[in-house]
Structure 1
């Protein structure tokens, strides 16, 4: 996300379903101690990767003054 003042915020959106899929893949490949943990930088878990859901999340974070607690400034 880029603001009018040029500030940019970066976050990683991951769905709950994707986390389960990654866990199963990692069990099979041995990554992340065979699926025992997972991490992603500046991760936000959401229900779905739709433009509407992402917009709703960003608007809510801005409204709650939590945007920069979640997003990394780049």
Structure 2
């Protein structure tokens, strides 16, 4: 699993989403796009609620999301979903 979509619901009821990709997945996409011509020949990659991790396992994803909450970066990276 190289890319996962997550939805997080915080205690206050707000809901947030993110697309989590591994470094390897981004590398693979950019190499593919270098051949296909997409994204200016693989020169960039972006995602509006993207989060790049080394390991997309559940345990690592939980740790990463908890750290983002603890250090106050959570709302800067994830997209808030409408109620």
TM over 0.5: yes
Aligned residue pair count: 74
* CA offset digits 1:14-47 (Å, max 9, x no partner): 1110111001110111110110111111111101
Shift >6 Å, 4+ stretches = none
What pairs with 1:53-68 in structure 2 (closer than 5 Å)?
53-68=60-75
Larger strand fraction of residues = 2
By relative contact order (CA 8 Å, sep 6+), the higher-ranking structure is 1
* Aligned partner (choices 14, 27, 30) of residue 21 of structure 2: 14
**TM (normalized to structure 1)?**
0.90
In structure 1, distance between residues paired with 2:53 and 2:40: 24
The CA RMSD over aligned residues, in Å, is 1.1
- Structure 1: gaps spanning 5 or more residues: none
- Structure 2: gaps spanning 5 or more residues: 1-7
Larger helix fraction of residues = 1
